[in-house]
Amino acid sequence: MSCSPSNRLPPPWEVLLLVAQAHHLDPPTLAKASCVCKLWSLCFSSDHLWAPLCTNQFPSLSPLHAASFSTTVPYRRLYSLGYTAGKRRLRKPPKPQLSLDNLLFTVDIRGSSDNKSSHNNHNIHNPRITLTKPCSELKLDPHGLFRFDIDVINYGEEGGNGNLKYWNIEALSGVKIAWHVVVKGWEGVFKMMERGGKGSFAYGVDGWFSEELPAPGCCSSTMTSGLAAELRLGIRGLGGAEGSGSNGIRGGVTVEKVNVGVLSILSWRYVSVDDALGYLQHFLQS
């Protein structure tokens, strides 16, 4: 039997409401029923059926039904938009093409040269520490977070154990920090942080630095990325004003480790490795 409008009149809206309420027709069932023919499409796309469904699941979208000046937006359309938007929000982003194995971290640390104490003790000076570390050699965070520890004491000949660089604690008050991420082969570089000025340091307490990262793309001048680069200096004291350390150096300190990572500005928690790599590939890959 034909189901065209010429052979059968649409059932009254009251009948449709009774059918939908009696059988508790859900959105997928209503959508399938509307595909049977033009008559069913007209009936089961009615605002009488979709208005309570849209209001119940997407209450913020329901007022948009009459938001247009020229025509109203069907509730079925609003429900479809809300459902699609919800599915997209749950969709996982694609895996970044950039890999930690292809990256290097470079960290440059310079102390202030404007202090008298360093000139009074030839064993204590204001060195410049420059580290270049392949990310493949760094220990991964067990929770998959973008945070890494770089051992300065056992780094190369300049920072090797037994050849430590001793600073005066006052030299760190004007320390300058630079952290870059480099693609192996020096095919690309991105500045994560470049900070200077006075900091607050004490024996046994990490020096903490942070800098907001720029937004990728064309809107970087007007928007923020929501991310911040973080760098911590692990300071080990070798004796203070009260006495000398085990190395016989009075008042000296050394940077024994550097911790770097990327934080979310909203939660101030470390982001995942994939999220950080997805951000970095905007700047490091063409």
Q: DSSP per residue over 101-162, as a string?
A: GGEEEEEEEE-----SHHHH-TT----EEEEEEEGGGSPPPTT-BSEEEEESTTBTTTB-TT
Mean pLDDT of the 130-144 span: 93
Residue 90 has pLDDT above 60, yes or no: yes
Between residues 95 and 120, which one has the greater pLDDT? Answer: 95
Q: How confident is the model at residue 14 (pLDDT cuts 50, 70, 90)?
A: low
pLDDT of residue 209: 87
Backbone angles phi, psi at 91, to 5 degrees: -70, 130
CA 79 – CA 198 distance, rounded (Å): 55
2 DSSP 8-state letter: -
Between residues 80 and 200, which one has the greater pLDDT? Answer: 80
Q: How many CB atoms are located within 10 Å of the residue 20 CB?
A: 21
What residues does 168 pair with on adjacent strands?
252
Residue 112 has pLDDT above 60, yes or no: yes
pLDDT of residue 261: 96
Between residues 124 and 177, which one has the greater pLDDT? Answer: 177
Out of 21-25, 138-142, 212-216, 255-259, least confident range: 21-25
Instruction: Give the pair of three-digit tokens for residue 235.
Output: 């300071």
Query: Mean pLDDT, the chain, as a whole number?
Result: 76
Residue 115 has pLDDT above 80, yes or no: no
- Let me know: does 250 contact 121? Beta carbons within 8 Å: yes
Q: How confident is the model at residue 160 (pLDDT cuts 50, 70, 90)?
A: very low
Share of the chain above pLDDT 70, in %: 66
Question: What SS3 class is residue 269?
Answer: coil
pLDDT of residue 117: 45
Q: How confident is the model at residue 166 (pLDDT cuts 50, 70, 90)?
A: low
Instruction: Give the pair of three-digit tokens for residue 50.
Output: 């979709």
Share of the chain above pLDDT 90, in %: 28
Q: How confident is the model at residue 162 (pLDDT cuts 50, 70, 90)?
A: very low
Q: How confident is the model at residue 171 (pLDDT cuts 50, 70, 90)?
A: low
Mean pLDDT of the 116-124 span: 47
Q: Both ends of the chain: CA-CA distance in Å?
A: 61
Residue 147 has pLDDT above 70, yes or no: yes
Compute the half-sphere exposure of residue 249: CA atoms within 13 Å on the CB side of its CA.
20
Between residues 35 and 182, which one has the greater pLDDT? Answer: 182
The full DSSP string for 44-76 is HT-HHHHHHHHHHH-TTTGGGGG--SSSPPPHH
3-state secondary structure string across 166-217:
CEEHHHHHHCEEEEEEEECCCCEEEEEEEECCCCCCECCECEEEEEEEECCC
Residue 245 has pLDDT above 70, yes or no: no
pLDDT of residue 152: 83
pLDDT of residue 275: 93
Residue 262 has pLDDT above 70, yes or no: yes
- Long-range contacts at 156-162 (CB < 8 A, ≥ 24 apart): 158/129, 159/129, 159/131
